[in-house]
Structure 1
Amino acid sequence: MDTGSSTGGTGGGGRTDPATEVFLAHRNLLFTVSYEMLGSAADAEDVLQETWLRWSGADRARVREPRAYLVRIATRQSLNRLRTLKRRRESYVGAWLPEPLLTTPDVAEDVELAESVSMALLLVLETLSPTERAVFVLHEAFGFGYGEIAAAVDRTPAAVRQIAHRARRRVEARRPRATVPPGQARAVLESFRQAFETGDVQGLLDVLAPDVVVVGDGGGVKQAVPNPVTGAGKVVRLLLGGLRKVGRAVTGSPTLVNGGPALAIHLDGEFDGVLAARVEGGLITGLYHVRNPEKLTRLGSETPLTLR
């Protein structure tokens, strides 16, 4: 079965079989769970395929709650894959950023959903162990109870409760401050775009927070900032210095990535990457520049996401 399609196995008369209907009804939820755990759309899609195979071979007559059952399968598959990804990311060239997703305006309007898939929060989740991340995502973002999570991560409910408290403390110590309404965030990024394209130093300083940080991800394929750069002055010098060195016309067109404002960056009209922004208190506190071509494949069409 192609889990990305709107149809699956069919019975007589072209009707979708019940197992496929149930899976497709929860597909977007399963993708969102897997993506929040992995930070990779490609790996999340692989998890969906693995989940479908197990679901199609299960004794579904004994499954009382298909949603919880499917999430449990997806969580276990994501945990297995996350442990492998952790080792792989240790040898990643330069800074690592989540794979950006082109999202619909309704994702940005859903504050809880937008926060849970934001580039900033996904980076914070990278500091957790695989089990801590699974527990945090399932409890904080999706509202699963400790008993349901325990079945997914093979721990007792009491142990899950302790893991959840520990993960929440670690995330709260690092997670970004409260964000601004989507419209205001877009306006701030538009001011940044105009200042950047015209080389307006003061205009950039006016929209960048004093402790703004820039993270670049080229994956060793494209040139990017090797380590995060922090501080408005340093960031302005980095941006305008890079603008001079590139020797090509650099433009940005507004878009929505991971539920937040972003710019699709073009060099002489050719798509080169995406620059996502974190806006807090009317200022940009984070810029996340993804140039790695392997991570730009999901920007051609919108990815449906949901917490329900």
Structure 2
Amino acid sequence: MTNTRSGDRQEIEQALALFSSVRPRLFGIAYRMLGSVAEAEDLVQEVWLRWQGYDRATVENPAAFLATVTTRLAINAAQSARVRRETYIGPWLPEPVDTSADPHLGAERGEALEFAILLLLERLSPTERAAYVLREAFDYPYRQIAEIIAANEATVRQLVSRARKHVLAVRRRRVTGAEQRRLLTAFVTAARSGDLAGLENLLAADATSYSDGGGAARAARFPVVGASRVAKFVKAFAPRFWTGVEVGWASTNGQTSAVLTRDGQVYAVVTVNASDEGIEQVLWMMNPAKLTTVPATAT
């Protein structure tokens, strides 16, 4: 009896060690599919429970098996999330994830991690999104992606090609990380002081401001579009929004974000997406449920 228990414990420890070694990749897949840290964590935990109870002796390639389970669960979860977001209060934005320690979140490349890309991927079907994420972020061969999503290789190539064209058609040439931080810093400075001209000079002509309060924080219920309108919008709420707020800086989703704290608590996370035409998107994350993983001690 003792030997049996010891053997079972050892087997579980081995299963956990293997699972832990690929967990960053599993989380990276789930997060890119769902845009939510909490939902990705829950999904990865479900994968562990399935792995723990599975007949692991029948699995020839555990890493591939776990990636397949994660992706298929994520496709189902994304379908459910799409329905829920139809009733979401105000604009929905991806949940910021701290990338200071792991900028790629388990991927070979940092693709499909930036806020701009995640927002674009929301327009794809869950299966298209999965094919794009597996290929562009994790460099899976088309044959393996086909096995993971239960499709033929020709279909997978079409899915990835269609997703790439969609992203490229909408997205302009992005600026460097240093330039993105410079524009964000200048934006925060102008926003705090209510500098209307300064704000307009930073914004692209068709700039859009998205505020995600999720019904739990006071935020604009609709996107604000156009440089002049965005600048006037930001200036209008400056006196009350910035009172008592301290600004820190963090790396979220591979780009610089401003972490706003009030009384030691994270109040909002603000970032911008920009091209050579200026700031194209201003993202205000204010939903408290999406700020739990952002450190309040950002530098």
Q: What CA distance in whole angstroms lies between the structure 1 residues aligned with 2:46 and 2:107?
A: 30
- How many residues are treated as equivalent by the alignment? 291
Q: 2:193 aligns with which of 192, 198, 208?
A: 198
Q: 1:237 aligns with which of 217, 226, 232?
A: 232
Q: How does 1:120-139 map to 2 (within 5 A)?
A: 120-139=116-135
Q: 2:183 aligns with which of 181, 188, 193?
A: 188
Note the residue ranges of structure 2 that are not aligned, 5 or more in a row: 1-5
Cα RMSD between the aligned structures?
2.8
* Structure-2 residue corresponding to 1:276: 271
Report SS of the residue matched to 1:173. helix
Check 1:15–1:50 CA distance in 2 against 1; reply closer, same or farther (3 A cut): closer
Tell me how far 1:94 sits from its aligned partner.
1.0
State yes or no: 1:59 paired with 2:63. Answer: no
State yes or no: 1:23 paired with 2:19. Answer: yes
* Structure-1 residue corresponding to 2:207: 212
Q: What CA distance in whole angstroms lies between the structure 2 residues aligned with 1:216 and 1:43?
A: 21
Give the letter aligned to residue 89 of structure 2. Answer: V
State yes or no: 1:178 paired with 2:176. Answer: no
Q: What CA distance in whole angstroms lies between the structure 1 residues aligned with 2:67 and 2:263?
A: 44
Tell me how far 1:242 sits from its aligned partner.
0.9
Q: How does 1:63-102 map to 2 (within 5 A)?
A: 63-102=59-98
Check 1:237–1:119 CA distance in 2 against 1; reply closer, same or farther (3 A cut): same
Q: Is the 8 A contact 2:266 2:291 kept in 1?
A: no
State, as a whole percentage, how many aligned pairs show the same letter. 38
Q: Is the 8 A contact 1:218 1:292 kept in 2?
A: yes
Check 1:240–1:147 CA distance in 2 against 1; reply closer, same or farther (3 A cut): same
Q: What CA distance in whole angstroms lies between the structure 2 residues aligned with 1:195 and 1:13?
A: 59
Q: What CA distance in whole angstroms lies between the structure 1 residues aligned with 2:137 and 2:96?
A: 19
Q: What CA distance in whole angstroms lies between the structure 1 residues aligned with 2:36 and 2:283?
A: 15
- Worse-matched range after superposition: 143-152 or 235-244: 143-152
Q: Is the 8 A contact 1:107 1:113 kept in 2?
A: no
Q: What CA distance in whole angstroms lies between the structure 2 residues aligned with 1:284 and 1:114?
A: 21
Q: Output one character per residue of 1:96-153: Cα deviation in whole Å (capped at 9) or x when no partner.
A: 1111112207628x99844421111111111011111111111122111222112221
Q: What CA distance in whole angstroms lies between the structure 2 residues aligned with 1:201 and 1:279?
A: 19
Tell me how far 1:269 sits from its aligned partner.
6.2
Q: How does 1:110-149 map to 2 (within 5 A)?
A: 113-149=109-145
Q: Output one character per residue of 1:15-71: Cα deviation in whole Å (capped at 9) or x when no partner.
A: 982211111111111101000001111111111111112222333333333222111
- Worse-matched range after superposition: 256-265 or 268-277: 268-277
Give the letter aligned to residue 201 of structure 2. Answer: D
Q: 1:297 aligns with which of 279, 282, 292?
A: 292
Check 1:282–1:249 CA distance in 2 against 1; reply closer, same or farther (3 A cut): farther
Which structure has the higher relative contact order (CA within 8 Å, separation 6+)?
1
Check 1:63–1:13 CA distance in 2 against 1; reply closer, same or farther (3 A cut): closer
Q: What CA distance in whole angstroms lies between the structure 2 residues aligned with 1:247 and 1:22?
A: 47
Report SS of the residue matched to 1:151. helix
Q: How does 1:154-169 map to 2 (within 5 A)?
A: 154-169=150-165
Tell me how far 1:235 sits from its aligned partner.
0.9
